[in-house]
Chains A and B, each alone.
Chain A
Amino acid sequence: MKKLIYYSFSLIVLFIISCNKKLDLVPIGSISQTDFYKTVEDANAAVIACYNTLIGFHTADRTDSGVDMWGDIQSSDAEPHPDGIAWNQIYQYTLQPDNGEVNGQWFLIYQGIFRTNIALEKIPEIDMDEQLKARLLKEVHFIRAWWMLRLAKMYGSAPLVTKTLSVDELYIPKSTRQELFDQVEKDLLEAETLPDVYDDANVGRATSAAAKTVLAELYLWEKKWAEAQTKLQDVISSGRYGLLDSYSSLFDGTTENSKEIIFEVQMKANTGKNIGNFSTTYSAPNGEGYVPGGGWGWYRPTQDIVNEYETVPKEDPRLTYSIFRKGDNFEGQIFKDVVNGTGYATKKWVISGKNGAEIEQNYPWHTSANFALYRYAEVLLMYAEALNELGRSSEAVSYINQVRARPSVDMPALSAGLTKTQVFEAIRHERRVELSFEGKISFDLRRWGIAGEFLRSPQRWQNNITINPQWEGKFFKYVDGKNDVFPIPQSEIDKSNGTLVQNPGW
C-alpha cells in the first residue's frame, strides 16, 4: 500500500519536472524586438517600414491612399461627398476638436515619427556596410522631416518627439512651431547629401533633390527666401529634372518616377499587401460605372476652382485634364453627373485600366499609380516665389512661364514686367491650377497668411450660393488666429493627463 502512495507521489513529481520547461514558450511566427535590428536585412526592413507610412498618409483609413484631401478640402477647390461628416466640417470650418480626421491624422503623423525614430536609434548599432548604413539613415531623416513638417503645418505647436518613448514617457507638452521647424531643418540638412540617383532596383527612394525641395518648402514657410532660392537653384541646375510634355500622363498611371518627379509615394496594385492607390475609386464620379469600383466621389471639384482656370485667349487645357465636366467623354463613357450633383468630378488619378494602367477588379480596386508629393513644376513655382520675394520679379515670371509652356498646356507667357504683387498673384493662380487636387492649395493659403481673407471673400463661389439663407453669404467659417491650425484632438487632450493644452481659439 505504501508503495502505491509512493508511486502516486512520484508520478506527480515526475510531471512537475518534465513540464516546467514547457512554460518557457516564445511567440511563434513573429520576431521579438530583442532579436531584431541585428543584420543588414533588418536595417533595410526598418527603412522600408518608414516608407510604408507614406501610403495612405492622409486619413485614418489607410486604404484611402493616393490623395491628400487636407490640401484641397480646406480650401474652396474641392468639396467632400455629403456623407463624410468629418470632411464636410473641415471643408466649412465648422469642425470641432473631436473631428475624426483631425484625430486620425495626428496618429498617422506620430506613427511616421515613431517608425523613423526607432530606425534612427537601432540602425547605427547594426554591424553592416557603413556606406549603405549612412544612406539608409539619411533616407530615414528625410521621412521624419516630411512627417514633422506636416505636423508643424497642420497643428502648429505639438509635442516634439525625436526618440522612441516607453509607456511612461508619453506625456510631453507641446513645442512651438519654430522648434518643430528647426528639427525639420536639422533632419533635412542630414538628408540633402543623399544620392542624386539610384539604380533601377532602388528608384523611388529619397534623393538629394527631394531633401532640398522639402527644405525649400520649409524655408518658404519660414520666409527664408534666400535659403529657399539656393536649395531650389541646386535642384534646377542639376539638370536631372524637367517637365513631361504630357500633363495628363502624370496622373493616368502611365508614367512612374519620370523626370518630372522629385519624390513620389510608390504604390502597387494586386499585391494583397495594401500598398495600392485608392484614388481612382475615391475620386471617380459617384454613381457612374467608369471604373471597376464604380467611383465614390469623395472628392469633388467646385465651381470655384473651375472659375480659376483661364478661358481667354483659350481655355486652359489643364481644366480638361484635371476635371470631368458634364458631357465629357472618358474613354468612351460620358459623364452624366447622375449622383454627384455638382456637375464636376475629379479626373486626376482616375484610371479605368483601359489605357493599360493596372487596376484591381475587386475591392479595394487599387491602381499601381504613384502619388507625387513633389514634382518639378512645383519646384519651378517655388523658385519663382522665392525670386519674387527677393525682388527678382521678372526672373520669377520666366519660371512661371516654363510651367505654362508645357507642350500639352501651352498657355500664353506672362509679361516680364509684372509688379511683385502681380507676380505673387500669378504664382497663386498658377499653383492653384497646375497643382489642383494635389494637396497643396490650402497649405499655401495658410503659409501666405491669406487663408481667412481668401475664403471669406465674396468672390468665392461658395459664399454666393443663396440656397441656404442661414449662411448669409459666409459659407466658410474661417476664424483668423484659430483656423490657421487644427485643434489638438480632444481625445489626445483627454488622454494626456493634463500635459497637452488646446490650441488658441479651439
Chain B
Amino acid sequence: MIKITAVLLLGISMQGFAKVNPPVELRGRIVNKDGNPLQGVSVLIAGTKNGTTTNNDGRFIINSSGNINIVLEISNVGFQTKTVPVGSQTEINITLEETAAGLEDVVVVGYGTQKKKDLTGAVGTISGNNLQSNAVTSTGQALQGKVAGLQIRQASGGPGADVEIRVRGWGTFGANSFPLVVVDGIITSGGLSDIDPSNIDDITILKDASSAAIYGSRGANGVVLVTTKRGKAGKEAINIQSYYSIDEVTHKIPTVDAVTYGKMVNDFYTNAGKEAPYADPESLGKGTNWQDEIFRTGSKQNYSISMSGGAEKNLHALTMSYYKGDGIVVNSKYSRFNFRINNDIKPIKGIKIGTSVGLSNGQAKNGNPQEAIDRALIYAPNVTPYNEDGSYGIADKAGQPTTMTQPLVAAYERYNSENKMRLLGNIYAEYEIIKGLKFRSSYGIEYNTFDGKYFTPSYNYGLGNSNGTAVLDRNTNNTKNWMIDNILTYTKSFNRLHNVDFLVGYTFQDETYEYVNAHRDGFSRNDDYLQVLDAATANDRARGNYTEWALQSYLGRFNYSYNGKYLFTSNIRIDQSSRFEKNTRTGVFPSFSAGWVLTKERFINDRLGPLSYLKLRVGYGVLGNQAIGVYPYQSVINSGLYYDFGTSQNVLAGAAPTALANPNIRWEKTSTTGAGVEANFFQDKLRFIVDYYDRRTSDILVVVPLPSLSGLGGNPYQNVASVKNNGFEFTVNYANGGKNRNLSYNVGMNLTVNHNEVTKLNKGLDIILAGGGQGGVETRTSQGHGINSFYGYVQEGVFQTQDEISKSPTQPNAQPGDIKFKDLNNDGVIDAQDRSFLGDFMAKQIVGINGSVRYKNFDLSVAVTGDFGRHQNIFVPGFAAARAAEATNAMWADRWTGAGTSNYIPRIVGGDPNNNARSSDFWVRSQDYLRIQNIQIGYDFSGRLISNTGISRLRLYVAGQNLATFTKWPGFDPELNATAYPLTRSIFFGINVGL
C-alpha cells in the first residue's frame, strides 16, 4: 500500500513561560513529502475563525495575536490534518503527510498524467508494489479481484496461459470485447501476454467513456494502461525476487469406475435394442482413472533482478527475469525470459529523451495437453495405461472407444514446441518550448513473432492410435505494429485559482501480420535431429497470408479546475480506420466529465464530522470499436475450392466467394453515462467509491448467422444490435493509517453488479443464433435478454413409467428414463414452442475481497474472488452420453435405471430417441463460485537483523493460491469451460531481497 513517510522539517521550540506579545504576521510555506508546494491548503488558528489558504507556491500569511500558545490547524484534502504549535516563530515551514487515500498520487491517463484528486472519470489503479509483493505468475492474473468493474478470467491453467480481461461487462458480442492494452504508450496487439509483473510500476484501468475517449475507436471496452518502472535519482536500488511453487490440479472431475462404466455401456446398447458388450461388468473392477495418469504435481519458479537509479540527468531502470513452469499435465512445460531497460536522459535544459525497451521470449514444449485432457475424460476405465511390455494400453474391444487416441499417446507422442518473441520498444523526446508548453514526440514498435513446430511421429500402438508416417507442421507468424505520437500540451495556472491543461495530438498506427505454414510428411525416422522439413519426403504443402491495417487519429483534451474544487475534463478523438470503406472511415469520439469536491466548500467544511473527503463525478462519452477483422467490407474470392479432372487426375483450383460481405458496415458506438461518489471518513481511513454506469452500445457489429439460403458459410458483420450494460461498482476500504508503528491493516471489498441486456435488434431480426441445434447447447441473442443467453427446453424431471408418459404432454419417442420436458405453452405437445431462456452467459455480480495485516515484521494477506450469475454448457466430452463408450462422468452412476432411481439424470440409450441431447437446462449449469484466491504470510527481516549484511530489505513468504473454491459447477473449474486445462492449486515459497 501507500508508504507513509513522516518528515517534520521544522524544529519546534517550546517555551515554557507566557508573556504578552504584540500582534505579528505569521508567514509559512506548506509542502508535501517531496518538497513540492501545496496550493489551497487551509490554515486556521485553532479555536478561532481566523484562517487563510496557501497560494500556488504553498505560501500563506496569517495575522496572529502574537500569543506563543496558539496552534495552527493545517488541513487539506488528501492529507492528514496537522496541528502545529507556533511558539515564538514567525516563519513556519510545514510538511503535510498524505493520507492512505493517495489523492495526491499521479495517475497515468491516456497520453499524460493527472492527479488522482483531479480525476473526473472512473479510473482504477493498482500499484506495482501490490503486484510484486504477491506471488503472481502473470500480470493479468495479478489484477484479479483488485479493481471493481474488472473481470479477469483465466483462459486455461497451462503454465504459460493468458487471462481474459473485460471491463464493465461485455459491451459487444460481435467484435472483440477485450480492453485495449497500452504498455508505456504503445497500443499493443499482444495485450498483457508475457509482460513480466516484476517490471510494472503501476497499472491504470480506464473504465468509462469519459476517461477512455482519448482512445476513441478502440476504447469502448475500456483501456488498461501499464507503466513500467523507471529510474529515480539517488542510490542504485537493486531488488531480487524469486519464488518456487508446487502445483496440483484444483479439482479432478469425478469419473466412474470400470464396473459402472461397463454397466453404462451395456445400458447404451441394450436400451437401443442391441447386445450388451459386457457380459459381466461386475468383473471389471475399479479400473484406470485417466486423470490420475495425465495429471501430476507441477511447479513454477521465477527469478528476477532489477536495478534502478542514476543521476538526475540520466536515469535508468533494468530488469531481467526468468520464469519456468512444469504444467500439471504430464509433458507440458513453459519457460519465459524477460528483459527490460528504461532510460530517461536530460541532455540539454528543457529537453528530455527516453527509451523503454522490453523483450520477452516464451517457450512451450509439450505433447498435446488439451487433447490428453479431453481424451482422459472419455477413455475407457477398463483399459490399463500401459501393457506389461511397457507399450501403451489401447482400447480394442467392443464397448470401448476404439477410434480415440489414448490420453498418454496424446500427451507423449506429439512433439510440439512453440516459441514466442515479443519486443516492445518506445523512444520519446520531450521539449519544453516555454514554461508549461511541451511538445512530445514518440515512436513505438511492437514486434511479436510466433514460431510453432508440431511433429507427430509415426507409430502404431493399435486401434485409433496409429500414425502411418511422421508429419511435421511448421507454423510461423509475426505481427509488426508501429506508431507515431506527436503531442503538444500546455499547462497554466491563472490567479492562483484557475488551472487549465490543454492537449492536442496526432497519431498514426500501422500493423501488419503475416503467417507462413508448411507441412511435410514421409519421414524415414522419428529422431529429434530429423525433425526438419528437409528430412521429409512427401506431401509438401505451404500456406501463407498477409494483412495490414492502419489508423490515423487526432486527439485533444481540455482540463479545467477551479481551486481544486470544480473539475472539468473533455476529451476528443477523431479516428480514421483502414478497416472501413472510405466514406464511413472517420469516427468522432468526444467525452465530457465534471467533478465537484464538496469538502473544499466552506459550507460543508464547517460540518465535516468524520467526513474528510467527498467528491461527486459525472461524465458522458462516446467510444467506438473497430476490432472486426481487417477488411470485412470487401467481398473476396476463395480460390481454394479444388476438384480434379482427367485421366491423370489433374487438380484444378476453383474459385468463388465463400463469405458474404457487407459494404455498408459502420463503426460500432458505445456511449457511457456515469456518475460516481468518492467519500472518505476519519481522515481518509475509511474510503468509499460508488459508481453507477449506463453503457449503451449501438450499431453493434455482429456476425449474424444468416439463413443458409445465402449458400455461404462465412457470414458478414452487420450493424444490427444495441446493448445496454448498466450497473454499480462499489468499493470500500479501511486502513488503520500509520500511527501504530507495529500494527497496520487494510481490508477492502469491491463489488460489481452488471446488468446486460440487448435493447434492440435491427433489420427485423428476431434473434441471433449461436451454436445450438442438436448435441450442443444453443445460445441466442434477442431483445430483452443478455447477450448469448442459453436457450432451450426446461427439464421437469425424468419419466419414471410408461404410465407417466401417457399422462404427460406428448413428447415423441419418450421412454421411461428419458428427460421429461416442461410444456411451457401448455398446448399438450412438447415441441420447439416449449423452449425458453435458460441462463446468462455473463456474470451478474463479481466480488473481490482483500485483507492485509502487518504486525511488526509479519505480514498476512488474503484475497477472495467470486462470480455469480454465469452459466456454461456441459455437453462436452466425458459428460455427454451421446457416444457409446465415451461417457465417464460420475453423474452417470446416479442415472435412471428403473422407476424411482433418479428424477434428474436420464437413462443412457444409444440413438437417443427422446433427444435427451437437445439444448436444455440439463446441460446448462451455473458457474457461480467463491474462491479463496490467495493467502500469503511473510516475514520481513529488515532492520537490525540484517543491518550488517548490506542487505536493506529481506522478505520471505509462503503463499497459497486457489486454496479453496466453493461452487456447484461440475467441470474442472468455474472460471473455465468444463474441460479446459484446469487451474492449479499452488503453494509458493518466495523471497524478496533489496540491496
Judge: A and B partners, yes or no: yes
Stretch at the interface among B58-66, B67-75, B591-599, B652-660: B652-660
Bound Cα distance A4, B439 (Å): 10
Bound Cα distance A495, B269 (Å): 36
Judge if A183 is at the interface, Cβ distance under 8 Å.
Answer: no
Nearest-CB residue, chain B, relative to A3: B433
Given A83-B883, A111-B712, A467-B274, decide whether A491 and B654 contact each other with a Cβ distance below 8 A: no
Judge if A1 is at the interface, Cβ distance under 8 Å.
Answer: yes
Interface centre among B550, B577, B643, B765 (most CB of A within 10 A): B643
B642–A92 CB distance below 8 A: no
A48–B915 CB distance below 8 A: no
Judge if B585 is at the interface, Cβ distance under 8 Å.
Answer: yes
Bound Cα distance A500, B707 (Å): 10
- A61-91 at interface with B (beta carbon < 8 Å): 82-83, 85-86, 88-89, 91
Closest Cβ–Cβ distance, residue B449 to chain A (whole Å): 19
Judge if B252 is at the interface, Cβ distance under 8 Å.
Answer: no
Bound Cα distance A361, B522 (Å): 9
B468–A362 CB distance below 8 A: yes
A82–B434 CB distance below 8 A: no
Judge if B734 is at the interface, Cβ distance under 8 Å.
Answer: no
Closest Cβ–Cβ distance, residue B581 to chain A (whole Å): 10
Judge if B808 is at the interface, Cβ distance under 8 Å.
Answer: no
B649–A268 CB distance below 8 A: yes
B709–A52 CB distance below 8 A: no
Given A31-B639, A98-B774, A490-B773, decide whether A85 and B912 contact each other with a Cβ distance below 8 A: yes
Contact residue among B707, B773, B813 (Cβ-Cβ distance under 8 Å from A94): B813
Q: Note all chain B residues with C-beta closer than 8 A to A288.
A: 463
A83–B882 CB distance below 8 A: yes
A100–B773 CB distance below 8 A: yes
A33–B636 CB distance below 8 A: yes
Judge if B603 is at the interface, Cβ distance under 8 Å.
Answer: no
- A456-506 at interface with B (beta carbon < 8 Å): 465, 467-468, 470-471, 475, 477, 489-498, 500
A48–B642 CB distance below 8 A: yes
Q: Note all chain B residues with C-beta closer than 8 A to A498.
A: 766
Interface centre among B396, B403, B910 (most CB of A within 10 A): B403
Given A22-B550, A341-B277, decide whether A8 and B488 contact each other with a Cβ distance below 8 A: yes
Given A47-B654, A296-B403, A494-B767, decide whether A88 and B643 contact each other with a Cβ distance below 8 A: no
B644–A204 CB distance below 8 A: yes
Q: Note all chain A residues with C-beta closer than 8 A to B643.
A: 48, 51-52, 54-55, 266, 275
Bound Cα distance A273, B651 (Å): 9
Q: Note all chain B residues with C-beta closer than 8 A to A165.
A: 709-710
Judge if A313 is at the interface, Cβ distance under 8 Å.
Answer: no
A204–B707 CB distance below 8 A: no
Stretch at the interface among B323-331, B340-348, B627-635, B748-756: B627-635
B651–A29 CB distance below 8 A: no
B545–A29 CB distance below 8 A: yes
Judge if A28 is at the interface, Cβ distance under 8 Å.
Answer: yes
Stretch at the interface among A9-17, A213-221, A230-238: A9-17
- B612-643 at interface with A (beta carbon < 8 Å): 630-631, 634-643
Judge if B886 is at the interface, Cβ distance under 8 Å.
Answer: yes
Stretch at the interface among A167-175, A317-325, A379-387, A433-441: A167-175
Stretch at the interface among A114-122, A403-411, A424-432: A114-122
Contact residue among B552, B630, B652, B718 (Cβ-Cβ distance under 8 Å from A20): B552
Judge if B469 is at the interface, Cβ distance under 8 Å.
Answer: yes
B642–A15 CB distance below 8 A: no
B710–A477 CB distance below 8 A: no
Q: Note all chain B residues with C-beta closer than 8 A to A201.
A: 645-648, 650
Judge if B127 is at the interface, Cβ distance under 8 Å.
Answer: no
Judge if B735 is at the interface, Cβ distance under 8 Å.
Answer: no
B707–A496 CB distance below 8 A: yes
- B766-785 at interface with A (beta carbon < 8 Å): 766-767, 769, 772-775, 780
Bound Cα distance A257, B648 (Å): 11
Contact residue among B546, B630, B654, B775 (Cβ-Cβ distance under 8 Å from A49): B654
Contact residue among A92, A267, A497 (Cβ-Cβ distance under 8 Å from B913): A92
Contact residue among B488, B708, B919 (Cβ-Cβ distance under 8 Å from A492): B708
Contact residue among A50, A205, A275, A338 (Cβ-Cβ distance under 8 Å from B398): A338
A83–B886 CB distance below 8 A: yes
Nearest-CB residue, chain A, relative to B886: A83
Bound Cα distance A292, B486 (Å): 63
Contact residue among B269, B548, B651, B832 (Cβ-Cβ distance under 8 Å from A490): B832
Closest Cβ–Cβ distance, residue A297 to chain B (whole Å): 9
Bound Cα distance A42, B549 (Å): 28
A289–B484 CB distance below 8 A: no
- B427-482 at interface with A (beta carbon < 8 Å): 431, 433-434, 437, 439, 441, 456, 462-464, 466-469, 471
Bound Cα distance A12, B813 (Å): 73
- A1-42 at interface with B (beta carbon < 8 Å): 1, 4-5, 8-9, 11-12, 15-16, 19-20, 22-34, 36, 42
A15–B506 CB distance below 8 A: yes
Stretch at the interface among A102-110, A415-423, A447-455: A102-110
Contact residue among A83, A112, A205 (Cβ-Cβ distance under 8 Å from B711): A112
Bound Cα distance A1, B271 (Å): 90
B547–A28 CB distance below 8 A: yes
- B528-557 at interface with A (beta carbon < 8 Å): 538-539, 541, 544-552
Q: Note all chain A residues with C-beta closer than 8 A to B393.
A: none
Contact residue among B469, B712, B812, B882 (Cβ-Cβ distance under 8 Å from A96): B812
Nearest-CB residue, chain A, relative to B549: A25
Judge if B397 is at the interface, Cβ distance under 8 Å.
Answer: yes
Contact residue among B403, B545, B549, B646 (Cβ-Cβ distance under 8 Å from A203): B646
A11–B486 CB distance below 8 A: yes
Given A28-B546, A32-B636, A275-B644, decide whether A44 and B652 contact each other with a Cβ distance below 8 A: yes
Interface centre among B539, B585, B815, B914 (most CB of A within 10 A): B539
Judge if A202 is at the interface, Cβ distance under 8 Å.
Answer: yes
Bound Cα distance A115, B919 (Å): 32
A89–B708 CB distance below 8 A: no
B506–A107 CB distance below 8 A: no
Q: Note all chain B residues with C-beta closer than 8 A to A55.
A: 643
- What 1/0 flags go to B570-601 for Cβ under 8 Å of A? 00000011100010010000000000000000
Bound Cα distance A452, B274 (Å): 23
B642–A275 CB distance below 8 A: yes
Nearest-CB residue, chain B, relative to A467: B273
Nearest-CB residue, chain B, relative to A342: B274
Nearest-CB residue, chain B, relative to A294: B463
Judge if A46 is at the interface, Cβ distance under 8 Å.
Answer: yes
- A192-214 at interface with B (beta carbon < 8 Å): 200-205
Judge if B519 is at the interface, Cβ distance under 8 Å.
Answer: yes
Bound Cα distance A99, B812 (Å): 14
Q: Note all chain B residues with C-beta closer than 8 A to A159.
A: 709
A27–B654 CB distance below 8 A: no
Judge if A394 is at the interface, Cβ distance under 8 Å.
Answer: no
Given A50-B654, A92-B913, decide whether A12 and B707 contact each other with a Cβ distance below 8 A: no
- Sample of 29 A–B contacts (CB below 8 Å): A1-B433, A23-B577, A27-B630, A27-B634, A30-B637, A32-B634, A34-B635, A48-B654, A51-B654, A85-B774, A85-B911, A94-B813, A170-B709, A200-B646, A200-B647, A203-B645, A204-B646, A256-B649, A273-B640, A273-B651, A292-B468, A338-B396, A339-B398, A341-B274, A341-B275, A362-B469, A477-B813, A490-B773, A497-B766
The 10 closest A-B pairs by CB, nearest first: A114-B711, A361-B468, A48-B654, A88-B911, A49-B654, A468-B273, A83-B883, A49-B656, A45-B655, A33-B635
Known A-B contacts: A28-B545, A98-B772. Give 10 more (CB < 8 A).
A23-B550, A31-B639, A49-B655, A98-B773, A110-B710, A110-B711, A114-B711, A294-B463, A495-B767, A498-B766
Interface residues, chain B, CB within 8 Å of chain A?
A: 268-275, 277, 396-398, 400, 402-403, 431, 433-434, 437, 439, 441, 456, 462-464, 466-469, 471, 484, 486, 488, 506, 508, 510, 519, 521, 538-539, 541, 544-552, 576-578, 582, 585, 630-631, 634-657, 660-662, 705-713, 716, 718, 763-767, 769, 772-775, 780, 812-813, 815, 832, 882-884, 886, 910-915, 917-919
